[in-house]
Amino acid sequence: MNSKLTLKLNKNVIDSAKKYAKKRNASLSKMVEKYFMTLIEKKGGKKKYTPLVEELSGVINLDIEFNFKDSYSSYLSEKYK
């Protein structure tokens, strides 16, 4: 169930936050809600990641064997030939 909340903030902060939300195609209310949830869950010890990280989790398959050190060395060798 959604409820209304009134906040008093600096006008410049509100304007900047609205622009930030618009660039990300999100509502300011949803951003504030996610922020509060992050604070609450961190304090309760339930979650250690931001909502964005949670949303992206599982996108990369880490079950494959991959040698990052060798790959990065090859990249640098090619870059500085």
Q: 49 by DSSP, 3-state: which?
A: coil
pLDDT tens track, the chain, 81 positions: 889 999 999 999 999 999 999 999 999 999 998 888 877 776 655 556 777 777 777 666 666 777 888 899 999 999 998
Phi, psi of 48 (to 5 degrees): -115, 0
Supply the pTM of this predicted model: 0.49
**How far apart are alpha carbons 60 and 48 in whole angstroms?**
19
Q: Return the domain boundaries, the chain.
A: 27-79
